[in-house]
Copies of this chain bind each other. A is one copy, B any other.
Amino acid sequence: MNIKNSVTELFKIKYPVIQGGMVWASGWRLASAVSNCGGLGLIGAGSMKPELLREHIKKCKAATALPFGVNIPLMRGDAEDLIKTTIDEGVKIVFTSAGSPAKFIELLKKNGVISTHVAATVKHGIKAENVGCDAIVGEGVEAGGHNGADEITTLCLIPQLVDAVKIPVIAAGGIADGRQIAAAFCLGAKGVQIGTRFAATVESSASDVYKERIAVAKDDATTLAFKKIGLVRMLKTEFALRVLSAENEGVSSEQLKEILGSKREMQGIFNGDEKEGAFEAGQSSGLVKSVLTVKEVFEELITCYDKIKI
């Protein structure tokens, strides 16, 4: 994987492999491990209050001298505080998702932050480019967690995004092995963002139950739930099946919000509660066969990628 391109240059990384920011899984330990392997680690601020984020950034800086970033979901009420904390700590790479980057781009740019936005449609990718983002993550519906309503897959989204924008496109959603990295490059992506494969590593802060469920998952292990109030991809745990059954009976948005309640992600990913928690995970789960260290994952990705000939 001897690649020098717009993504490796932009982030000053060895491999164009970015670890997706994931709630309850990607703290400083995972992010620094990924950066130390030559990829770009991201602290997932989605499950952190500003002061906890500050602590993770400080620990990440102590654990790696290489570039890392922070992922900030903009639907968070305190998104601005998270961004300010990130800037205050001198982090120069921010990935924003789940909302419009327009409101925050000025703040980010005037502080010299490289800004990448996650888009699930061509329209949102173009918007991100127009407001001044430096790169786009095109995230297909294979991805774990929150997804766009149009359910566009990585295979279809990436070439259309690449045709529509000039800034680099990073492919995300469903990618867990080197064959898929090569495929993403064929589609025109200049980098990949990988979530689930890294969520099931030793350095991930997810619970062991969660990691094991990923490791035994088959191709059909995930489902999309909460269509009426915002699509989420998760493993078919007891909780997920309960949601699907309620949706099948035609429950209202209000009822769905009640079923969702709060802290389902923490209960699932962090606590490993299969009965009450949401095990957010990507469709790539079926390709993850064991819990590995981040270093082992990189070795696998690179070895597999380097074998591809077309």
Contacts and interface: CB of A to CB of B under 8 A. Distances in A.
Interface of A: 121-123, 140-142, 150-157, 159-160, 173-175, 177, 179-180, 182-188, 218-220, 223-224, 228, 248-251, 283-284, 286-287, 308, 310
Contact of A187 (B141, B142, B180, B284): B180
28 contacts: A122-B218, A122-B219, A141-B153, A142-B155, A142-B156, A150-B219, A151-B223, A152-B219, A152-B220, A153-B153, A153-B154, A153-B155, A155-B173, A155-B175, A157-B219, A159-B177, A159-B179, A160-B287, A179-B188, A182-B310, A183-B183, A183-B187, A186-B186, A186-B310, A228-B248, A250-B250, A308-B310, A310-B310
Contacts of A150: 219-220
A109 to B, nearest CB: 28
A179 B186 contact: yes
Contacts of A154: 153, 155
A121 to B, nearest CB: 6
Given A123-B218, A152-B283, A179-B188, 8 more contacts: A121-B220, A142-B156, A153-B155, A155-B174, A156-B219, A156-B284, A157-B219, A159-B287
A182 B186 contact: yes
A283 B187 contact: no
A25 to B, nearest CB: 20
A123 B182 CA distance: 25
A283 B284 CA distance: 20
Given A122-B218, A185-B310, A250-B249, A180 B160 contact: no
Given A150-B219, A186-B183, A156 B287 contact: yes
A231 to B, nearest CB: 11
Contacts of A223: 151
A310 B140 CA distance: 21
Contacts of A250: 249-251
Contacts of A142: 153, 155-156
A159 B248 CA distance: 31
A68 B310 CA distance: 26
A286 B250 CA distance: 31
A119 to B, nearest CB: 11
A187 B153 CA distance: 15
A262 B241 CA distance: 32
